[in-house]
Amino acid sequence: MTINLTNAGKRFNRDWIFRSATYTFLPGNSYAITGSNGSGKSTLLQAICGSLGISEGKIEWSSNNKQVDADNVFQYLTIAAPYVEVIEEMTAIEFLNFHCQFKPLIAAVSIKEILQVIGLEKAANKQIRYYSSGMKQRIKLAQAIFSDTPLLLLDEPCTNLDVTGFVLYNRLIKEYAAGKTIIVSSNDVNEYSFCQNVISIMDFK
């Protein structure tokens, strides 16, 4: 998926979060949006995914050289972020089955295999509400990375993960996200070390 930002800016009241953002995200490439906490990385990511309107400029999306309307961008992407919650009343199996009614999972891996890969096979039938914060983060990453969509957005993807979780995260990206356009919002190099391009939010202040 290709995403073009042209003089894009977002403000809340009189405060500009980012401004004059002109950039092109190309298909199959990986990007990191970096900056300190509170600098606007998440706001820019939400604008990129179409869930947050911008105050000036424009954002255009296209897939296979066809323009994608802003109202339909969600069909082409998945996101894992601290502000995107899972359905805690469901079990992991129920949640992934529910999710794939809206976004198909990659055909090569079954839900059972996904849970084995992320180390949650023994908790597959337990309600997510009883998961630790790290287990919840693993299921968030699973629904995003294993979805068959061309655009993968990750906001602080290793939140609540331990060292083993970081290793798992990098394995998931390497083995199951190949060919996707990946955009990571983070100030931790361990979360975006694989990215080919690094963008500082401060360039758009």
Low-confidence stretches of the chain (pLDDT < 50) are none
Q: What is the pLDDT of residues 85-109, one digit of tens each?
A: 999 999 999 999 999 999 999 988 9
CATH number assigned to the domain with residue range 2-204, chosen from the 4 options 3.40.640.10, 3.40.50.300, 2.20.25.90, 3.30.70.260 = 3.40.50.300
Three state DSSP letters for the chain = CEEEEEEEEEEECCEEEEEEEEEEECCCCEEEEECCCCCCHHHHHHHHCCCCCCCEEEEEEEECCEEECHHHHHHHEEEECCCCCCCCCCEHHHHHHHHCCCCCECCCCCHHHHHHHCCCHHHCCCEHHHCCHHHHHHHHHHHHHCECCCEEEEECCCCCCCHHHHHHHHHHHHHHCCCCEEEEECCCHHHHCCCCEEEEHHHHC
User: What is the pTM (predicted TM-score) of this model?
Assistant: 0.94
Model pLDDT, residue 108: 87
Domain range summary for the chain, segments of one domain joined by +: 2-204
Model pLDDT, residue 113: 97
